[in-house]
Amino acid sequence: MPTVFSHPAPVLALAAALGPRVVPPRLLLFGMFCAVLPDLDVIGFKLGIRYADLLGHRGFSHSLLFALLLGLLGAALAALCLLPASARSEE
């Protein structure tokens, strides 16, 4: 069963295969965060959101639209993860 601990496994495996020159540590952490982000919807249980609701577990955050939006945001932000610190501070 997939868990918040197993979701980052493909990201870690890809980073290990490609090495830190291709996948810098900041990008690796960002990828791991994006891998577990859809499961943060379980916080809704504490807020009274039921499992089957649109914002419930495996609702919108597990949809193709959410994946597309997260992918677009991730692609835009990943570029920042690849910039050296000196380049980020000059902007």
pLDDT tens digits along 43-79: 888 888 888 888 888 889 989 999 999 999 988 887 7
In 3D space, the residue among 34, 21, 19 whose CA is nearest the CA of residue 82 turns out to be: 21
Band (29; pLDDT cuts 50, 70, 90): very high
Distance CA 73, CA 78 (A): 8
Q: What is the mean pLDDT of the chain?
A: 85
Six token digits for residue 35: 């891998």
pTM: 0.74
